[in-house]
Chains A and B, each alone.
Chain A
Amino acid sequence: GAGVSQSPSNKVTEKGKDVELRCDPISGHTALYWYRQSLGQGLEFLIYFQGNSAPDKSGLPSDRFSAERTGGSVSTLTIQRTQQEDSAVYLCASSLRKQGIYEQYFGPGTRLTVT
């Protein structure tokens, strides 16, 4: 079946602009995650959605970052007033509890470049 999809695949923006990144999880997966992959910091957890529960935003680096998940499916990560240090690959993953663990499946990522 279809995997996790993300759009756009690449985004170049000017410092100070807002950007929106989209994630379409695997159909039926109740959990959705955003991670950030950068050269200096490796792979970092950003935010977690599970069903209709309040999201876990503990990994968001600043209040310029926010995310929504509409209808328990598609998610949008928004970065306001982008800074150069926001340049990274933003990865989305979805999962379903399987044999007692949450096995996460990742999308191809959105490469964000802030100039």
Chain B
Amino acid sequence: GDSVTQMEGPVTLSEEAFLTINCTYTATGYPSLFWYVQYPGEGLQLLLKATKADDKGSNKGFEATYRKETTSFHLEKGSVQVSDSAVYFCALNSGGSNYKLTFGKGTLLTVNP
């Protein structure tokens, strides 16, 4: 079945540091890939998405590239801010009969000033 593996946290960075959160997946067919973010006390928000190989999703300075050959969708940001502190979830949707999302376990990011 489908699965998502993302690097375990917590990740602690200083402001303006470079961020990478690794995500790899196993899926049937050609899934769509997503990063969701959950800020403290808030619900899940879609951060970015990619629907086919070599697509790059981007939003709020975050980027992730759909790499079919390595089955990966790593999240990157060049310069993090304190306000980026949150839990980040990698997820996939392989379509099928229900289009459900399969999530990784989440990575807690803390950015210190």
A-B contact count, CB below 8 Å?
52
Residue of A nearest to B43 (CB): A108
**In-complex Cβ contact of A42 among B32, B49, B93, B106 (8 A):** B106
Say whether A106 contacts B43, CB under 8 Å.
yes
Interface size class of B (residues with CB under 8 A): 20 to 34
A46 CB, min distance to chain B CBs, angstroms: 9
**Interface contact B93-A101, CB-CB below 8 Å:** yes
B45 at the interface (CB under 8 A from A): yes
Please tell me if the beta carbons of B51 and A100 are within 8 angstroms of each other in the complex: yes
Min C-beta distance of B51 to chain A, whole Å? 5
Residues of chain B within 8 A of A12, CB atoms compared:
none
Interchain CB contact under 8 A, B44 and A58 = no
List 24 contacting pairs A-B, 8 Å CB cutoff, sorted by A.
Answer: A33-B100, A33-B101, A42-B104, A42-B105, A43-B89, A45-B98, A45-B100, A45-B101, A48-B98, A50-B98, A56-B98, A56-B100, A93-B44, A93-B101, A95-B99, A100-B51, A101-B51, A102-B93, A104-B46, A105-B46, A106-B36, A106-B44, A106-B45, A108-B43
**B contact set with A: CB distance below 8 Å:** 32, 36, 42-46, 49, 51, 89, 91, 93, 97-106
